[in-house]
Structure 1
Amino acid sequence: MVLSQEPTTTVVTRSRYNYQLSEIIRQRAWVEIDQSALAHNVRQLRAFLSPDTELMAVVKADAYGHGAIKVAQTALQYGASRLAIATLGEGIELREAGIIAPIVVLGAVNNPEEIAALCHWKLQPTICTFQQAITFSKTLAELEQTLSVHLKLDTGMSRLGTLWHQATEFVTLVHQLPYLKIASIYSHLATADELEPTVMKMQQQRFKDAIEKIKAMGISIPCLHLANSAAVLSDRSLHYDLVRVGLAMYGLYPAPHLKSTIDLKPVLQVKAKITQVKTIAAGTGVSYGYQYITQRETKIAVVSIGYADGVPRNLSNRLKVLLRGQYVPQIGAITMDQIMLDVTNLPDVEVGDIVTLIGKDGENSISADDWAKTLGTISWEILCSFKHRLPRISTGEC
Structure 2
Amino acid sequence: MNRSPNNVTIDLSALKDNLIKIRELVGKKTKIMGIVKSDAYGHGLIPVARELEKNHIDSLAVDYLSEAIKLRNAGVNIPVVILLGIGTPQEAKKVAGYDLIPIIYDIESARILSEVGKRSGRAVKVYLKIDTGMGRLGIDFRETGLFVKQLKEMNGITIEGLFSHLSSADEQDTLFTNAQIENFKEAIYVSRRLGLKLTMNSLANSAGIMRYKKSHFDIVRPGIILYGGLPCPDFVNPPSLRHVMAFYSRVMQVRNVEHGTPISYGRAFFTDTSRKIAIISAGYANGLSRSLSNKGGLLIHGQKARIIGRVCMNLTIADVTGIKGVKKGDRVCFLGKEKGNAISSDDIARWADTISYEVLCSLGSRNDREYIN
Whether the TM-score (by the shorter chain) exceeds 0.5 is: yes
Residues 68 and 82, structure 2, Cα contact 8 Å, conserved in 1: yes
**AA in 1 matched with 2:356:** S
> Where does structure 1 lack aligned partners over 5 or more consecutive residues?
1-22
Residues 134 and 167, structure 2, Cα contact 8 Å, conserved in 1: yes
- Structure 2 equivalent of residue 189 of structure 1: 166
- Structure 2 equivalent of residue 177 of structure 1: 154
243-252 vs 339-348, which moves further? 339-348
1:34 equivalenced with 2:5 (yes/no): no
- Structure 1 equivalent of residue 342 of structure 2: 365
Deviation, structure 1 residue 140: 4.6
- Structure 2 equivalent of residue 259 of structure 1: 237
Report the identity percentage. Answer: 35
- 2:271 counterpart (289, 294, 298): 294
Encode CA deviations 1:289-314: one digit per residue, 9 max, x unaligned.
Answer: 12222333333222111101110111
Q: Partners in 1 of 2:330 and 2:224 — Cα distance?
A: 31
Q: Partners in 1 of 2:236 and 2:266 — Cα distance?
A: 42
- 1:80 counterpart (57, 62, 70): 57
Q: Partners in 2 of 1:183 and 1:216 — Cα distance?
A: 15
1:214 equivalenced with 2:199 (yes/no): no
Residues 53 and 240, structure 1, Cα contact 8 Å, conserved in 2: yes
Q: Partners in 1 of 2:337 and 2:31 — Cα distance?
A: 32
Q: Partners in 1 of 2:168 and 2:323 — Cα distance?
A: 45
- 1:66 counterpart (15, 35, 43): 43
280-289 vs 193-202, which moves further? 280-289
Deviation, structure 1 residue 258: 4.5
1:309 equivalenced with 2:309 (yes/no): no
- Structure 1 equivalent of residue 26 of structure 2: 49
SS in 1 for 2:149: helix
**AA in 2 matched with 1:149:** V
Q: Partners in 2 of 1:75 and 1:96 — Cα distance?
A: 16
Deviation, structure 1 residue 199: 0.9
Encode CA deviations 1:91-117: one digit per residue, 9 max, x unaligned.
Answer: 122222211111001113212222223
SS in 2 for 1:40: helix
- Structure 1 equivalent of residue 144 of structure 2: 167
SS in 2 for 1:224: coil
Q: Partners in 2 of 1:350 and 1:114 — Cα distance?
A: 55
Deviation, structure 1 residue 159: 0.5
Residues 65 and 383, structure 1, Cα contact 8 Å, conserved in 2: yes
1:157 equivalenced with 2:126 (yes/no): no
> TM-score if structure 2 supplies the norm length?
0.93
SS in 1 for 2:46: helix
- 1:324 counterpart (284, 288, 301): 301
174-183 vs 133-142, which moves further? 133-142
> TM-score if structure 1 supplies the norm length?
0.88
Residues 320 and 357, structure 1, Cα contact 8 Å, conserved in 2: yes
Alignment RMSD? 2.0
**AA in 1 matched with 2:155:** P
1:111 equivalenced with 2:111 (yes/no): no
| Aligned residues between the structures | 372
Q: Partners in 2 of 1:340 and 1:147 — Cα distance?
A: 55
Residues 124 and 147, structure 1, Cα contact 8 Å, conserved in 2: yes
Q: Partners in 2 of 1:196 and 1:295 — Cα distance?
A: 43
Q: Partners in 1 of 2:163 and 2:302 — Cα distance?
A: 46
